[in-house]
């Protein structure tokens, strides 16, 4: 029997459970320009490496305390399996500030369950859709967003250049419009 994913607002267990998760992911390819949408075009292999964003669970909880923000945790058999942090962006869309799935919970429907909850949250607030940003080297996430119905709407090839000089990462902006 397959466990079902339970998504609920992050509770007091979130910060403590966060440390037991591995939110890193493997990079084996990257998307190549032009980024004209609605989805990715060309993909090229790259030498395999592991990437982690280093999100801070205390900061996620603190940011979700605002009136136009939320933090939802996904659990499988009571164990933290992933999370999604949301806020209302300046342009009126819901924004995915962070989404991650534990490496041991991938391919179990966790990302879809989290995104479904994000859609509900945005619709409950009457927002026109959801936007998010990811990187050209996070092809697995990009493919998930495409399958979910997001449209690649823009890019920024300099966004990460000051953080990591010489980086090849390109910021990709995705939108899921409700209307």
Residue 37 forms part of a structural domain: yes
Whether 13 has a pLDDT exceeding 90, the answer reads yes
Residue 92 forms part of a structural domain: yes
Residue 138 forms part of a structural domain: no
DSSP 105: G
Residue 71 forms part of a structural domain: yes
Q: Taking a C-beta distance cutoff of 8 angstroms, is the pair 117, 85 a contact?
A: no
Peptide bond connecting 34 to the previous residue in cis, omega within 30 degrees of 0:
yes
Helix residue spans in the chain (DSSP H): 14-18, 57-64, 110-124, 139-148
- CATH number at 82 reads 3.40.630.30
pLDDT in tens, 103-131: 999 999 999 999 999 999 999 999 999 99
Chain centre distance of CA 36: 21
Give the distance between the most distant pair of CA atoms in the chain: 48
Please report the pLDDT score of residue 2 as a whole number: 57
Rounded mean pLDDT of the chain? 95
pLDDT in tens, 137-154: 999 999 999 999 999 999
Whether 87 has a pLDDT exceeding 90, the answer reads yes
Whether 1 has a pLDDT exceeding 50, the answer reads no
Can you give the residue range of the structural domain that contains 16? 5-128
Residue 102 forms part of a structural domain: yes
Domain count, the chain: 1
């Amino acid at each position: 029997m397959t466990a079902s994913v339970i998504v609920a607002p992050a509770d007091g267990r979130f910060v403590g459970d966060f440390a037991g998760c591995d939110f890193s992911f493997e990079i084996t390819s990257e998307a190549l320009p032009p980024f004209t949408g609605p989805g990715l075009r060309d993909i090229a292999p790259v030498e395999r490496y592991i990437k982690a964003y280093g999100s801070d669970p205390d900061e996620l909880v603190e940011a979700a305390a605002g009136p136009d923000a939320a933090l939802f945790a996904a659990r499988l058999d009571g164990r933290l399996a992933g999370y999604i942090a949301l806020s209302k962006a300046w342009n009126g869309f819901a924004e995915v500030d962070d989404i991650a799935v534990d490496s041991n919970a991938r391919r179990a429907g966790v990302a879809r369950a989290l995104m479904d909850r994000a859609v509900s949250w945005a619709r409950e607030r009457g927002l026109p859709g959801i936007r998010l940003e990811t990187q050209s080297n996070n092809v697995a996430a990009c493919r998930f967003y495409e399958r979910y119905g997001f449209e690649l709407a823009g890019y920024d090839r300099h966004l990460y250049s000051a953080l990591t000089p010489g980086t090849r990462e390109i910021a990709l902006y995705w939108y899921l419009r409700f209307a």
